[in-house]
């Protein structure tokens, strides 16, 4: 094992009413590594990702990001840390339909008050990197699902995050486009030094990760621990 543990979740529990989604899940992510959360439907993968990203607060257990205990922060402080340090890609891109693809990618920088010209310059670089330069002036409704996910990956990486959280980023794509998006996500994140925590059902997508963690009945264990 090399590299510093950047993000650590310890003994996480989370229930939705009577339904236990997490029942003592622990997982850690080192700087720069790509980790795939795998496991059956309903096993708690998305809930685990959302707790580690500080979107959901676990009922029990702690999440540490570097020297900060995420679970101890106020909602406002957690949101600020998320904007500064994390990037997100979801199954259906979740691009803003009224904005062009270029404006969508520039948006996280504009929210951090980066001047428009500089934000659009950086956004253009990321669209180039993700091989979707040609959609810059189009709106999300005018492009394909695969192009949309590549734009979403560009938007997640444009702020130079330390961790990218990706929940089924290829789930709505055919296998060829899915693999292409995953390859670009893994390569771009590695070049940028960002870690990726990804939820996927597909072994071909998980194959781009450095490590797989199996989630079952709300508990997680790393394959390297059981190998
Ligand atoms: N917001 C919610 N409200 C109520 N129950 C929820 C909520 N989110 C998740 N659950 C329940 O928690 C359990 C774990 O769900 P979760 O989405 O984390 O699993 P998953 O492994 O990501 O599933 P899938 O692979 O099908 O997306 C399931 O029983 C689910 O129905």
CATH of the domain at 140: 3.40.50.300
The per-residue pLDDT for 222 is 67
Which residues are 164's β-sheet partners? Answer: 87, 196
* Per-residue pLDDT at 226: 43
| Structural domain that includes position 215 | 5-226
The tally of domains found in the chain comes to: 1
If one counts every other C-beta atom within 10 angstroms of the C-beta of residue 226, the result is 7
Question: Within 13 Å of residue 175, how many CA atoms lie on the same side as its CB?
Answer: 5
pLDDT at 227: 40
- Atom number, ligand 1, closest to the C-alpha of residue 43: 21
Q: Which of 84, 77, 85, 104 is nearest to 93 (CA)?
A: 104
Name all residues whose Cβ lies below 6 A of ligand 1. 16, 19, 21, 39, 41-47
pTM of the model: 0.92
65: CA distance to ligand 1 center in Å? Answer: 24
The DSSP code for 171 is: T
Q: Give, rounded to a whole angstrom, the gap between the first and last alpha carbons of the chain.
A: 14
What Cα–Cα distance (Å) separates residue 50 from each residue in 120, 158, 166? 29, 21, 10
Residues 84-124 have pLDDT tens digits of 899 999 887 689 999 999 999 999 999 989 999 999 999 99
Report the length, in residues, of the chain: 227
Distance 12 CA to ligand 1 centre (A): 15
pLDDT at residue number 1: 43
Cα 69 to chain centroid, rounded? 19
For residues 158 and 127, give the distance between their C-alpha atoms in angstroms, rounded to a whole number. 9
In the predicted structure, residue 219 carries a pLDDT above the cut 80: yes
Predicted complex: ipTM over 0.90: yes
**Contact residues for 39 (Cβ-Cβ < 8 A; gap 6+):** 45, 214, 215, 216
For the chain, give the mean pLDDT: 92
């Amino acid at each position: 094992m090399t590299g510093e543990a950047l993000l650590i979740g310890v003994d996480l529990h989370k229930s939705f009413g009577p339904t236990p989604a997490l029942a003592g899940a622990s997982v850690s992510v080192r700087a720069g590594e790509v980790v795939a959360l795998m496991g059956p439907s309903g096993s708690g993968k998305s809930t685990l990702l959302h707790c580690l990203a500080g979107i959901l607060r676990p009922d029990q257990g702690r999440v540490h990001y570097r020297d900060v205990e995420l679970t101890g922060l106020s909602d406002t402080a957690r949101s600020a840390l998320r904007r500064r340090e994390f990037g997100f890609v979801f199954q259906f891109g979740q691009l803003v339909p009224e904005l062009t693809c270029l404006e969508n990618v520039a948006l996280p920088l504009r929210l951090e008050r980066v001047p428009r010209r500089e934000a659009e310059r950086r956004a253009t670089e990321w669209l180039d990197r993700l091989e979707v330069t040609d959609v810059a002036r189009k709106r999300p409704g005018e492009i394909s699902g695969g192009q949309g996910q590549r734009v979403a990956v560009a938007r997640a990486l444009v702020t130079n995050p330390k961790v990218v959280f990706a929940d089924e980023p290829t789930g709505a794509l055919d296998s060829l486009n899915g693999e292409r998006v995953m390859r670009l996500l893994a390569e771009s994140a590695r070049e940028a030094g960002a870690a990726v925590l990804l939820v996927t059902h597909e072994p071909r997508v998980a194959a781009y990760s450095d490590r797989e963690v199996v989630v079952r009945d709300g508990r997680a264990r790393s394959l390297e621990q059981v190998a």
